[in-house]
Chains A and B, each alone.
Chain A
Amino acid sequence: MSAISTRPREQAAPRRPAPRIRPPWWRSRGLKGIGYTLPTALVVIVLFLVPLALVFWMSLNRWPLLGSPTLNAPDNYTRIQDNPLFVDSILFTLKYTVLVTIMLLVIAFGLALLVQERRPGVGFFRTTYLLPSGVGFAAAALLFYGLYSNEIGPLDGILRGIGLIDEPIAWTGTPNTALFSTIALVIWRFAGFQMLILLTGLQSIPLELYEAARVDGASRWQAFRRITVPLMRPTLALLLVLSITGSLLAFDQFFILTQGQPDNSTITMVMVIYREAFFRFNLGSAAALSVVVLIVLVALNVLQLRILRHDRTESEPS
């Protein structure tokens, strides 16, 4: 690499013209930079910034799926509280977010600790745990839809075979089983991905720290609590942000696997937005709900990032 990077400079130096001539304005570096980033700017403006402005404008209008919109601000916002489905969905989404975030993180951390050291078989285990991340989320949800079905699903047979249950389980039949069956799907699909990020964090901890702790007589648990967890805080914080954001916006898993059932007990916020727009044909009201979700999410992200940054500055001097 160094041979490539040094040789051209030696060759190049004598050829450079002695008096530096200012290039004409159309050849200036600034203009070229704009040229190269023009496609990016077009995509960001047309497909992101304009729609973002449009969603605010839509939320101020009665905007039917067909027909022309009419201004009705602030009705779309004031009517949110009269939408019991949305209010319920906030509580359900929060409950799901807390449960799935904690369970996923604990399991992924366990996996990462298990496959942390290099030894025979570790590569195979890592790949197997990561493999579900290669399956699309919707495909995974459809897969589990079959897995949990009483018609074709193998789970009842296996559990009865080893004597754990006597009666078939309605895997998505009650509010609680539906919630935890979905969480199991999400853990299967995402634990490997979180494990991977945790592994990169674990590998950046210097081994000398553990050796020093062992010399000082610290147990494995003490080393984990006093060295691993504090030094992993930035990584853990990143995963928390990703997991909380992703879970608050949950859609595919419940839309496909439980379809909001039983008794509308597993409806998430994004599912209500979808229903408002494409079943009740009220895009204005869907836009207002989207704006609310957007504001909550941005506020939450800013808050989380601030906590994360605060942690960092505190832990850095040591």
Chain B
Amino acid sequence: MSFVYMKILESRPERYDLGMGLLTLGSLTKIKHEIAEQTHPGDQVLDLGCGTGTLAQMCIERGAHVTGVDANSGMLSVAKRNSPTANYLNISLSNLDEHLADESFDIILSTLAFSELTRAERIYVLKQIKRILKNDGKVLIGDEIIPESFFAKCFYYAFRLPMRLLTWIMTQTTTNAIPSFDDDVREAGMKIVNRKSFMLGMFLLLEIKK
């Protein structure tokens, strides 16, 4: 790999929010605000794939206690600057079983983390979420999906691909739309109780319960 390019890659976490904001045309920020509004003072919140910690900080400002999980240590370094009062775990999402107790969180959040996982990993993590979540708790997942309707699908491929390329040039990362998230949730033994679409159905905010 190009050495200069590797140096650019090393600075990726600092540019992550900018790139993702561009990729989602602001939808990600809206999704994060909607998620944060559902947290309350004293809530035990788990942010899976917390990245640069922007959502964690929004929840902390509303009085929640947040634990952020991310496998990328570079991202966590930025998160610790953005949201210094949150707790952090530098582990991959598949290793939650070794670090988090049963029924220990009121709300489990995730934005653009599931689209980085394979289907087997998604189902495994969802099963772990079911174990960690309190019985009356909820899961809020904001992620990219492939739209179902024909026109939305055409728009998706015409618009998203060049945007993804541009974002990749800026941040050397991108998202991979999830083809069938409903099936994954069902297979993990949970149910979707609410859903809201963003950007013509390309992004989805799901509320999931046990």
B and A form one assembly: no
- B residues adjacent to A (C-beta < 8 A): none
